[in-house]
Amino acid sequence: MKIVVEGGANVLIDYGDPDWLYRLCKKFPESLRQCNQYTLENFRYIIEEIKPFLGDLVCPMELKPIPLHQIELIRHYFTNLDDNKVNLLRIKQLKGNSFRETVFQDHFTSIYQSDAGGILMEIKPKWLFSRLEYCRNCTHNIIKGRRINYCYKVLLNNAQHFRDIVSNCNRVPLEFVEDMIRYFDGSDNVLSILHDAQREFDTQQSDFTNSKDVSNELLCCMTLRDVTCFLEWHPDLPIKVNVVDMDLKLRNKWTHWLRTNQDLERCQSKVFH
């Protein structure tokens, strides 16, 4: 057993199965029971609210309750072990040991290559549908000081923009680039599906004053604006696509969303395209 990735809210655990990882929620370190409840609600939310829009793009996963005594490392993450089990999410392993070499990485995109010539892209498309006149993604980059010369919202409408995304990565094969352009030129690509799902849930987010004002529609929309997509390419094979990071947002995030929206509105260097 080993820790693969540890973030602020979750820990990814490798139990030796090459095909699956186990995700532990540590969002509420003061209560294992509360984390278990969130994991249960989150799993139901993904299956019942998000999957109807994303379909088979949702990464395979299942809920796995594990007896507390079988997870020794649990004590490192909780001050109160107030439950006799741990709810884990069993999630399909998408990267594994085959994609060992990182050939490109920035805030929105990581590209990995295998010894056999396969390519794995990990992308964060962010806001693909928005009623704002300016590009929310690129304007937010300006605020954050990120120098990124591409935008997945542009790729949504122009598949040739993929060349700009990989322009700083000269180690990917031309066949990969051409296949990805054909994929994003199709009407059923992952960006188009995410765009339509975001449009379905889009709602005003600047007129609330407390967490009770945050609608379920806004929570779903903010989830869809924060997903991660894995696209796996091999020569002469169909591109495999999986979407992860579809977690239920907490309503107390409204203050952060409101501050970000205010910063964007004040920005004097908005990006339009």
Domain-wise residue ranges, the chain: 2-92, 101-266
Residue 63 CA to residue 5 CA, distance in Å, equals: 19
Closest CA to 50 of 226, 270, 180, 208: 226
Burial class (CB in 10 A: 0-12, 13-18, 19+), 243: buried
DSSP one-letter string for 212-263: GG--HHHHHHHHHTS-EEEEEE-TTSPPEEEEE--PPPPGGGHHHHHHHHHH
3-state secondary structure of 19: coil
Longest dimension (CA), the chain: 56
Cβ–Cβ under 8 Å, residues 78 and 98: no
pLDDT given at position 67: 95
E strand residue ranges, 26-152:
61-67, 85-92, 101-105, 109-113, 119-123
Residues ≥6 apart with Cβ < 8 Å to 54: 193, 194, 197, 243, 246
pLDDT given at position 205: 62
Residue 38 CA to residue 48 CA, distance in Å, equals: 15
Residue 72 CA to residue 172 CA, distance in Å, equals: 42
The yes/no answer on whether domain 2-92 falls in CATH 3.30.200 is: yes
H/E stretch holding 21 reads strand 20-25
Gyration radius from the chain CA atoms: 20
Per-residue pLDDT of the chain (273 residues; tens, 9 = 90+): 789 889 999 999 998 898 999 999 999 999 999 999 999 999 999 999 999 999 999 999 999 999 999 888 888 999 999 999 999 999 999 998 889 899 999 999 999 999 999 999 999 999 999 999 999 999 999 999 999 999 999 999 999 999 999 998 888 999 999 999 999 999 999 999 999 999 999 986 656 778 888 899 999 999 999 999 999 999 999 999 999 999 999 999 999 999 999 999 999 999 999
Q: Which two tokens stand for residue 247?
A: 């977690």
pLDDT given at position 171: 85
Cβ–Cβ under 8 Å, residues 140 and 260: yes
Position 57, amino acid: L
